[in-house]
Amino acid sequence: MSTNDKRKQSLYFPEDMLKEIQAEATRQDRSLSWIVQKAWRTARKELAKYPSSTDLPDQETNGLAQNAHPPTD
């Protein structure tokens, strides 16, 4: 995607998180969009270290599914 491509997108944040982002935007005299974009660029390499939900081994996935509802016997 080009850096000049400005698509509108709605993002939803928990109220307390949004207040923190707004406070930081005010502190830096920046827009909310600028703050979120900088946060993403800063965090994306760290986030890439986490496995995706489809990367879990079958045993882990099955174990999670089996443990989600304990037996009722």
Q: What is the mean pLDDT of residues 2-18?
A: 87
Is 34 part of a structural domain of the chain? yes
Is 62 part of a structural domain of the chain? no
Is 72 part of a structural domain of the chain? no
Q: What is the mean pLDDT of residues 55-60?
A: 65
Torsion angle of alpha carbons 12, 15, 17, 20, nearest 10°? 120
Per the structure, the complete domain to which residue 31 belongs is given by 13-49
User: Contact at 8 Å (CB) between 11 and 33?
Assistant: no
Return the pLDDT at 5: 77
Is 25 part of a structural domain of the chain? yes
Q: Pick the residue with more confidence: 40 or 53?
A: 40
Structure-token pair, residue 61:
């996935």
Is 32 part of a structural domain of the chain? yes
Which residues does 25 contact at the CB level (< 8 Å), separation at least 6? 31, 32, 34, 35
- Counted domains in the chain: 1
Q: What is the mean pLDDT of residues 27-34?
A: 97
Could you give the CA distance from residue 26 to residue 29 in angstroms, rounded to a whole number? 5
Q: Pick the residue with more confidence: 19 or 7?
A: 19
Is 4 part of a structural domain of the chain? no
pTM of the model: 0.63
